Structure 1
Amino acid sequence: MVNHINSNVGCPIDIGEKVLDNMFHLITSMLWGGTLDKEDRQRVSLEFQQVIKEIVKLLGEPNVSDLFPALAIFDIQGMVRKMKKLHLWFDRSFDVVINQRLEMDRGGNLNSDIGKKDFLQVLLEFKDQEEHKTPFTITHIKALFLVIS
């Protein structure tokens, strides 16, 4: 980020966008490490920024259904439809990351050294343990990722 800012001296820079991008890279590095290659990571980062902007926009819009709860079933403004669309984006993105990690695991491309594990690898190993009273599934992993991001 510092190099980018330094190379664009005299030009306007959206610091908020750069900070969001860096935070995204930091959080995803902790969550799923090097699962995505550089191109996929950039694409997901840009899409993530757009999705976050849409979520913030939707959260700021007044909703008729909040004032008149009886109208909620009609979704007059399409708020529920829009939020479901954004939720599906998260779901698909997490599916891609988890499936790529599972493929890497099957191919033996993961370092099993305890110091090299990321959060996704730990969760997938936890999911495979069968000694739990309540099963831990991929859906639980995606829910955790959604809450963290």
Structure 2
Amino acid sequence: MFLNVLNVITNTLWGGTVEGDERAGLGAEFREVVSEMTELLGKPNVSDFYPGLARFNLQGIEKQMARRFDGIFEKLKDEGGDSKTPFTMTHVKALLMDMVVGGSDTSSNTVEFALAEIMHKPEVMKKAQQELEAVVGKH
């Protein structure tokens, strides 16, 4: 589900999707990075309590976040950049943080949760299967 949502968002942003072997690898890497980023954002940071210390990055949290994201940003930047829309690293980071991170993780988690809940209710599962069969068909 995460890969599908990631493809929808990157297709919206750049008009292309990540395909083939690269799709699975990039999707898995990106999901890991999003998970790590969420963990780092929730980690207590001295700079949050004493803003004057933020420029020193005492715990190295900002450096960890930047290092993990820069590699994946470069891959996605190469996918989306062309001569008509020159992306800088700042543009890419802003787009990805807002669109991809916010859209992919929450959307895929919501769908996974809904599917898990449907699996616990056989009557709802049967109804959903019948509807899918009527609309989409078996093949």
- Same fold by TM-score greater than 0.5: yes
Q: 1:73 to 1:138 in 2, by over 3 A?
A: closer
Q: 1:79 to 1:33 in 2, by over 3 A?
A: same
Identity %: 31
Is residue 142 of structure 1 aligned with residue 84 of structure 2? no
Listed one character per residue, the Cα deviations across residues 38-79 of structure 1 (whole Å, up to 9, x for unaligned) are 111111100110010011001111111111223223322111
Larger RCO (CA within 8 A; separation ≥ 6):
2
Tell me the equivalent position of 2:28: 46
Tell me the equivalent position of 1:21: 3
Assess if the C-alpha contact under 8 Å between 2:3 and 2:24 holds in 1: no
> Could you tell me which of 47, 63, 78 is aligned with 1:65?
47
Q: 1:22 & 1:98 partners in 2: Cα distance?
A: 17
Assess if the C-alpha contact under 8 Å between 2:45 and 2:59 holds in 1: yes
Assess if the C-alpha contact under 8 Å between 2:8 and 2:17 holds in 1: no
What SS does the aligned partner of 2:26 have? helix
Structure 1 stretches of 5 or more lacking a match?
Answer: 1-18, 103-123, 128-136
Is residue 31 of structure 1 aligned with residue 13 of structure 2? yes
Q: Alpha carbon RMSD of aligned pairs, Å? A: 2.6
Opposite residue 142 of structure 1, the aligned amino acid is: V
Q: 1:42 & 1:33 partners in 2: Cα distance?
A: 19
Q: 1:33 & 1:39 partners in 2: Cα distance?
A: 19
> How far off is 1:34 after superposition?
4.5
Structure 2 stretches of 5 or more lacking a match?
Answer: 101-139
Compare the two structures and name the one with the higher helix fraction. 2
Q: 2:94 & 2:45 partners in 1: Cα distance?
A: 28
What TM-score does the superposition give when structure 2 sets the normalisation length? 0.57
Opposite residue 95 of structure 2, the aligned amino acid is: F
Q: 1:144 & 1:76 partners in 2: Cα distance?
A: 24
